[in-house]
Amino acid sequence: MAFKKKEATADLTDSSAVMKARNLQQTAARQRIAHICGKTMTYTFLLLMALIVIFPFYFMIISSLKTTEEYRRSVPTLFPMEFKFANYLNVFTDKDFQFWTLFRNTVFVGVVSTLLSLVITVFSAFAFARLEFKGKNALFAALLGTMMIPGELFTITNYQTVNDFGWMKSYTVLIVPFLVSVFYIYLLKQNFMQIPNELYLAAKVDGTSDLKYLWKVMIPLALPSLISITILKMMGAWNSYMWPRLVANDDAHKLITNGLRGAAFVDELGNTDYPRQMAAVTVVSLPLFLVFIFLRKYIMKGVSRSGIKG
Amino acid sequence: MKVVLQNLTKIFPSRDKKSNQEVVAVNDFSFEIPDGKLIGLLGPSGCGKSTTLYMISGLQKPTSGKIFFGDDDVTELSTENRGIGLVFQNYALYPHMTVKQNILFPLENLKGKDKLTKEEKLERAKSAAKLVQIDELMDRKPNELSGGQQQRVAIARALVKMPRVLLLDEPLSNLDARLRLQTREEIRRIQKETGITTVFVTHDQEEAMSISDMIVVMKLGVLQQIGKPQDVYDNPVNLFVAKFLGTPPINVFNGAVKDGKLYIGDAAVLETPGVADQEVTVGIRPEGFELEADGALECQLSNVEVMGRDVSIVTTHPASCNVTIRSIIDADCKVDVTATSVRYNLKPHKVFIFNKETEERIYF
Amino acid sequence: MVDTRKQWKAWLYLSPAIVLLLIFTVWPIFNTIRLSLMEGYNSTMAANPYVDYEFPFGLGNFTRVLEYPNFLTCLKNTVLLCVITVPISTLLALLIAVGLHSIKFLQKPLQTIFFMPYVTNSIAIGMVFAAMFNMVIGGSTRPDSVGIVNNILEALGFDYINWTNAGSSYGANLAVMVVYIVWNALPFKILVLLGGLQGINKQYYEAARVDGTKKSRVLWRITVPLLSPMLAYVIITGFIGGFKEYSSIVGIFGDTMGPAGNPYRMDTMVGFIYRAIGKQEGTASAAALILFGIIFVVTMINLAVSKKKTHY
Amino acid sequence: MTKRIVALLLIAVMTIGMLTACGGSGKKGAAGDVVTAEGGFDINKPVTITFYHQMGAELQKILATAIEDFNKFYPNITVKAETMGDYDGILNQIQTEINVGNQPNLAYCYADHVATYNLGGAVQPLDSLIANTEVITRADGSTEVLGLTQEQIDDFIPAFYNDGRVYGDGKMYTLPVVRSTEALYYNKTFFEKHGLTVPTTWDEMETVCRQIRELEPTCIPLGYDSEANWFITMCEQSGSPYTSTEGDKFLFDNDVNKAFVKRFQGWYKDKLVTTQELSGGYTSALFTGESDTGTRCYMCIGSTGGATYQQPNQTNGVFEFEVGMAPIPQVDPANPKVISQGPSICVFRKNDSHETVAAWLFAKFLATDVVFQASVSMNNGYASVLKSAQENPVYKDFLATAGTEGIQAYAVQVTLEQQDSFYNSPAFFGSSVAREQVGLLVQKCLAVETNDVDAAIATAFENAVKECKYQVGM
């Protein structure tokens, strides 16, 4: 057989794996070139894609610095000919765009709905991941099934519902209807499932209550996922548009995206003053962007830990 | 294939950005692995043994130094061009492939004139599987195998492309005690059968000693000693090696050499001609004690453990660096378990003395 | 063992979620089914306190959806967009994730950049894409307004392509939509796949390197199978999202969902549903249920396939 | 699992079937067309009314002033004005609100919107209010008739007033606020230089366009902004049917209409004309020369409300050319027809008649207040619907500035000059669909690329009618 001592050595001597000294250098050089080529290709690809991906962002920022006239040019300029920082000043001083009010409303709605949503998600995910009860799998499958339905059609009925509840034009109507996200429950459940069940059993043996166990063990271990959910939820508050416009578009409760798309930045003829709008969009995106940069590590961990396995 | 490491050094940049402290994983490491031998790289965790193995494999590049396979300088060669087989600590079997696919995988990478026909590949895979005795399991997935079986698959996968050098990273650490014994014999057998130069890394001295042709003891990236297992055991070059090898471990005392005699406490226990007067550290192998009623070294008896063939006597002594002293003597010797103390004579070749500062061996 | 004490405890923990879902998700679904069975239902008519409009019970709304002259166009666009964008975006995301995972220098800044679309406001995105692909005043002898994409084509020695304006071809329209949708889908997919990659034991790659496995073979034979749960996840959610495609098309083509001179050429199922809201909610409900049916079937097929193909 | 879901679904369907079968009977009362405040309107009873509009910042200032003026008369009527961004925003918001019965008290509206609101029976017919002769003593001691006096009615430009009565049931639903129309903007400098005549008919238009093409081979002589307006106005000018509130409703698929569309298709092919959608932007951009390459228009038919966009670029404070404005070309100059566009105001039904009357009073105030109308007009180039506004000295001065610089005044002037030519299109559930569809139809037909133009046009017409009917459930 090939693996008997003698034959093996014989095999090896005429195999190409045995290299003459000059071949060695050639191979070494070749592999160096291959390595450099590989890296170059990787970087070229990544940088090219990055360029494409970042372009709209760049465009948003340069547009926010252009004059209206320049923006309207039919061949868009890739760099502002003159910087109009006044566009930014305008964001904070514009009477139609009550930046601070909008900002405060959005932050309030975002924070409160995130907190409540986290509580609900944690409890639900815990029940699904750790507790046994009848119909658990069926219920979970049904929940996942709801993700497949085009949610737009809920609007009519939900509008009626919140109106019957008398929630119109309140923070409640902005917060409550969308507190439960099946996706978040799913994400967190997966994360919880990866925490060894022995920990739970050990806690039970020690007489730790479920709540204490959740608080002391599950939550710290699932922190990255929770942070991801927090960010997704905050982004939701930041970008929500249709529903808030419908149910709470009064000045006291208006959210920031509605402010952006509303009457502000529109002149008398209904034409949008894009540079000013872009400046506002940039300012509005900034908090999210910063949050993302600072918490990037956790978001990455959160997703990788959820280890989306069936 | 002989493997030569020449002044191999590996420095890792510091992980902690602030401190800027570099980590020297392997420091100026040189030795030669003779053709067809099984070599155990031995040392406590963090000693650089795995790094050394990885540098031989080509997965890591040395910071300086050279590696030769035979006469070929392979330092600059990347791993796939070195013709090595590597078995990972946790086997790294592809979980989505069957045993057969796992074993075939390396063969499918061959190109050019090395390219094999389908039949040849299967033939090779089968004989490799046979060699490690897993030919019955070819269609299973790794998660359907026991640890020992996975280990064999990993070895088969490493062997199937007929490497010039086989490298094993902690091959037994994931196995239970019984399997460990069995598997290390297996490794020995396979190595013998194939005659492939094999290097394996372990922190378990017993494992290394039991199957290696040669062992290499490392500490903090520095080579301590190379040799046949028994030679190293019998002749450790320093306190570290002495302490690291042997179960139960060597007993260490504070002692002194005075006028050509070795003193432990007040007792002169051994003649040490030609050794200058100094404070020393004394190492005595457990089997280096002989019960004698008028022995030179008196220890307080605390416990006697009868282990069948041998008896292990646990004692204490004020000069001992360890809490207890453990000696192993023949079961035929009667020990009075009610006595408060025992007296020993020492076998000179089982006693090593070391410089107090440098911990280097002082020969006598 | 299922003990009864735990049973009620589980339901207690689930109660807030269940109550909210019952009110804001389950009830609307039932209501949708109800409306879909009321022929010709129009919410404004139904709200009229003075006139009692009749909405007979039956399947008329469903047949009406199928009778819609543009129904096949909607279906075709929806399916085409799904079938084209999901593989492209998944593949690109995979390559980017693998690339990002393999580098050290610039890794973090690049990661941040690839997630930027996530935090870029959707208003900006629509306008930018319109500007990028823009060109041509209809009927003029020379293009008047050229987007950057055409500038690039010109630099590469190609002719301008009319992407979205009057007289543009279906292929060009589709291409723009594909680029836009893929662009939009990338960050999430990269995020998930990168997360998955970080969970893969590095030794598999070292083992492959020792064996001299080619990069492409490592990708297809090792990375892809090991990532298969995440890939299945992004593909399934991609399909679900793809079947609901609407706002992206409006973002590029406006409410008429097509280039000038060819309105509703890029119409989709959800586009149809949206237009029916406010006019024919019964039909809209029926269409939503039909869409749900399609998504359900496709997801089930997806799940069945992925069960066979994912390796765990 | 799947079986269980299916079973659940079946049960649900059956339950709902029964629900629908049983539900919905005998809810309806009589339509409250007539509003009477018992014992007269009590100006001291506090009431809040909500007004939805789409005004931007500048107009909101004007509105705020108007509300202040109104509150001098009725201090206890609090007007809450909310902007919905644009007209579609108003429509969507109100339509959803009607479904649950909490629509606002009054809103800026287009006729098509009112037709939609009418489906829900939400709009208050104004006839009884207009006819109401109750005299109210206002807070400042002055008096007014609750309804409209004949004098007030006569002060409205008739065509605009009649915009409130286009719903096929003979009832009046809205009051006009300001109006715009379409006008022909032309490059006066260019026309004078080349001795061109401003066209008054479509035949003349074709001639002029061909002349201009000779002079400037790369140009597109005419830009027409709104395809839908073009079609509807051509129907009116040709005397051919467009829509009707009765019967088949969508009547625009006829030979006369096909003929003019085919003619314009020829123009488009010969590069004599382009439209907003086909050119990818307001054609005014081509007219003013904002586009920096060769293509430009020398004529543009656009809204008088968008006059500022027809103002050419300035270099060193000098306009690049002089703009002329003229009525749009006609089929029959003896019987001119132009479109009437612009916001009206409608009042919504409320259970509390006090609220309804309060809303009416505010609607009436906006519709008849010369100061408000003139201010709006001067701000955006829409024309006041009141004849008396033209007597207002400030407004008069404004109108006198008509020209390239005072292009808004110019636009108002042209609008007012045509006050006898306005037509109204019928509004009903589906009229907005018709409008959308004919706009798309023009786009489609102009861009036809096949050789068999007639067949393509015929198919397009047929499909457009089909789509209209489908969307309203006919």
pLDDT for A124 equals: 92
Least trusted range by pLDDT, from A206-210, B128-132, B248-252 = A206-210
Above 60 in pLDDT, residue A74? no
Q: Dihedral of CA B265/B266/B270/B276: which sign?
A: positive
pLDDT for A13 equals: 41
Instruction: Answer for the pair B253, B321: CB distance below 8 angstroms, yes or no.
Output: yes
Nearest C-alpha neighbor of A8 from the set C256, C174, B193: B193
Q: Within this chain, do residues B36 and B153 fall inside the same structural domain, yes or no?
A: yes
pLDDT for C6 equals: 66
pLDDT tens per residue across span A174-231: 899 888 888 888 888 877 887 777 777 777 777 778 888 888 888 888 887 888 788 7
pLDDT for C141 equals: 34
Can you name the CATH fold of D182-339+430-472?
D-Maltodextrin-Binding Protein; domain 2 (3.40.190)
What distance in Å separates the CA atoms of residue B231 and residue B325, rounded to the nearest whole number? 24
State whether residue B133 sits within 8 Å of chain A by CB: no
> pLDDT band for position B15 (50/70/90)?
low
Upper half-sphere CA count for residue D342 (Cβ side, 13 Å): 31
Q: Could you say which residues from 87 to 106 on chain C have a Cβ atom under 8 Å away from some Cβ of chain D? A: none
> pLDDT band for position D370 (50/70/90)?
very high
State whether residue C108 sits within 8 Å of chain B by CB: no
What distance in Å separates the CA atoms of residue D450 and residue D193, rounded to the nearest whole number? 39
Q: Average pLDDT of A21-47?
A: 83
Placement of tokens 């040849």 in the chain: B120
State whether residue C279 sits within 8 Å of chain B by CB: no
pLDDT for D126 equals: 94
Q: Within this chain, do residues B170 and B284 fall inside the same structural domain, yes or no?
A: no
- How high does pLDDT run on average in chain A? 77
> pLDDT band for position D26 (50/70/90)?
very low
Q: Check CB contact under 8 Å for B77 and A28.
A: yes
By percentage, how much of chain B surpasses pLDDT 90? 18
- How high does pLDDT run on average in chain D? 87
User: Token digits for A280?
Assistant: 């506002």
Nearest C-alpha neighbor of D338 from the set D409, D411, D259, D250: D411
Chain B residues with CB inside 8 Å of A31's CB? 77-78, 81
pLDDT tens per residue across span A108-150: 998 999 999 999 999 999 898 888 888 888 888 888 888 777 7
- Of D287 and A11, more confident: D287
Q: What is the largest CA-CA distance in chain D?
A: 82
pLDDT for B18 equals: 59
By percentage, how much of chain D surpasses pLDDT 70? 90
Q: Average pLDDT of B213-238?
A: 90
Q: Check CB contact under 8 Å for C296 and A42.
A: no
User: Token digits for A279?
Assistant: 């400046």
pLDDT tens per residue across span D28-78: 555 556 666 566 788 899 999 999 998 877 888 899 999 999 999 999 999
pLDDT for C305 equals: 83
Domain of residue B286 covers: 251-362
Q: Is residue C61 part of a domain?
A: no
Provide Rg for chain A, Cα atoms.
Answer: 28
Q: Check CB contact under 8 Å for A163 and D102.
A: yes
Q: Within this chain, do residues B240 and B255 fall inside the same structural domain, yes or no?
A: no
Chains A and D touch, contact meaning at least 3 pairs of CB atoms under 8 angstroms apart? yes
pLDDT for B19 equals: 60
User: Chains with ≥3 Cβ pairs under 8 A against D?
Assistant: A, C
Least trusted range by pLDDT, from A89-93, C183-187, D124-128, D129-133 = A89-93
- How high does pLDDT run on average in chain B? 87
> pLDDT band for position A170 (50/70/90)?
confident
A interface test, pick of C8, C30, C119, C297 with most A CB neighbours within 10 Å: C119
Strongest mean pLDDT among A196-205, B195-204, B329-338? B195-204
Instruction: Answer for the pair B198, B165: CB distance below 8 angstroms, yes or no.
Output: yes
Q: Could you say which residues from 144 to 163 on chain B have a Cβ atom under 8 Å away from some Cβ of chain A? A: 159, 162
Q: Within this chain, do residues B101 and B143 fall inside the same structural domain, yes or no?
A: yes
Strongest mean pLDDT among B58-62, B132-136, C151-155, D181-185? D181-185
Q: Check CB contact under 8 Å for C57 and D17.
A: yes
User: Chains with ≥3 Cβ pairs under 8 A against B?
Assistant: A, C
Above 90 in pLDDT, residue D379? no
- Domain stops at, among B195, B213, B244: B244
CATH of the domain at C109: 1.10.3720.10
Tens place of pLDDT per residue across chain C (312 aa): 445 666 788 888 899 999 999 999 889 989 989 999 999 888 888 888 888 888 889 899 999 999 888 889 999 999 999 999 999 999 999 999 999 988 888 888 888 888 877 777 666 677 677 767 765 433 333 344 566 777 778 788 888 788 877 778 899 999 989 988 898 888 888 888 888 888 788 888 888 888 888 888 888 888 998 888 888 888 988 898 888 888 788 877 877 888 877 888 899 988 888 888 778 888 988 998 898 888 888 888 888 887 777 665
Q: Within this chain, do residues B106 and B54 fall inside the same structural domain, yes or no?
A: yes
- Domain stops at, among B188, B209, B244: B244
Chain A residues with CB inside 8 Å of B159's CB? 3
Q: Within this chain, do residues B201 and B314 fall inside the same structural domain, yes or no?
A: no
Report phi then psi at B360, rounded to 5.
-80, 150
State whether residue C46 sits within 8 Å of chain D by CB: yes
Region for residue B37 given its phi and psi (left: phi exceeds 0; alpha: psi -120 to 50; beta: otherwise): beta
Q: Average pLDDT of B103-108?
A: 87
- Of D80 and C259, more confident: D80
Least trusted range by pLDDT, from A253-257, A266-270, D126-130, D443-447 = A266-270
pLDDT tens per residue across span D411-432: 999 999 998 899 988 999 889 8
What distance in Å separates the CA atoms of residue B282 and residue B262, rounded to the nearest whole number? 9
pLDDT for A18 equals: 45
pLDDT for A271 equals: 55
Least trusted range by pLDDT, from A301-305, C213-217, D122-126, D448-452 = A301-305
pLDDT for A11 equals: 43
Q: Spell out the domain ranges in chain D.
A: 47-179+342-411, 182-339+430-472
Within this chain, domains D47-179+342-411 and D182-339+430-472 share the same CATH topology:
yes
Region for residue D39 given its phi and psi (left: phi exceeds 0; alpha: psi -120 to 50; beta: otherwise): left
Q: Is residue C139 part of a domain?
A: yes
Helix axes A182-193, A136-146, angle to 10 degrees: 140
Question: What total number of domains does chain C contain?
Answer: 1
Above 60 in pLDDT, residue D342? yes
Above 70 in pLDDT, residue A233? yes
- Of D208 and D89, more confident: D208
Tell whether pTM > 0.90. Answer: no
pLDDT for D57 equals: 76
Q: Within this chain, do residues B124 and B51 fall inside the same structural domain, yes or no?
A: yes
Secondary structure, 3-state, chain B? CCEEEEEEEEEECCCCCCCCCCEEEEEEEEEEECCCCEEEEECCCCCCHHHHHHHHHCCCCCCEEEEEECCEECCCCCHHHCCEEEECCCCCCCCCCCHHHHHHHHHHCCCHHHCCCHHHHHHHHHHHHHHCCCCCCCCCCHHHCCHHHHHHHHHHHHHCCCCCEEEEECCCCCCCHHHHHHHHHHHHHHHHHHCCEEEEEECCHHHHHHHCCEEEEEECCEEEEEECHHHHHHCCCEHHHHHHCCCCCCEEEEEEEECCEEEECCEEEEECCCCCCEEEEEEECHHHEEECCCCCEEEEEEEEEECCCEEEEEEECCCECCCCEEEEEECCCCCCCCCCEEEEEECHHHEEEEECCCCEEECC
Above 90 in pLDDT, residue B332? no
Above 90 in pLDDT, residue A64? no
Q: Is residue C64 part of a domain?
A: no
Q: Average pLDDT of D85-104?
A: 85
Chains B and C touch, contact meaning at least 3 pairs of CB atoms under 8 angstroms apart? yes
pLDDT for A75 equals: 59
Q: Check CB contact under 8 Å for C213 and B80.
A: yes
Q: Average pLDDT of B252-265?
A: 89
A interface test, pick of B81, B110, B120, B193 with most A CB neighbours within 10 Å: B81
Q: Check CB contact under 8 Å for A156 and C14.
A: no
> pLDDT band for position D250 (50/70/90)?
very high
CB-nearest partner of B79 from C210, C221, C226 = C210
What distance in Å separates the CA atoms of residue C133 and residue C163, rounded to the nearest whole number? 6
- Domain stops at, among B214, B244, B274: B244
Above 50 in pLDDT, residue B193? yes
By percentage, how much of chain C surpasses pLDDT 90? 18
Above 60 in pLDDT, residue D175? yes
pLDDT for A267 equals: 54
pLDDT for C144 equals: 47
Q: Average pLDDT of D296-308?
A: 89
CATH 3.40.190.10 holds for D47-179+342-411: yes
Least trusted range by pLDDT, from A74-83, B150-159, C224-233 = A74-83
Above 90 in pLDDT, residue A31? no
Domain of residue C75 covers: 71-276
Q: Is residue C213 part of a domain?
A: yes
Q: Within this chain, do residues B205 and B66 fall inside the same structural domain, yes or no?
A: yes
Q: Check CB contact under 8 Å for A307 and C127.
A: no
Chain D residues with CB inside 8 Å of A164's CB? 100
Chains B and D touch, contact meaning at least 3 pairs of CB atoms under 8 angstroms apart? no
B interface test, pick of A3, A11, A24 with most B CB neighbours within 10 Å: A3
Above 80 in pLDDT, residue A306? no
CB-nearest partner of D280 from C50, C64, C260 = C260
Q: Check CB contact under 8 Å for C201 and B90.
A: yes
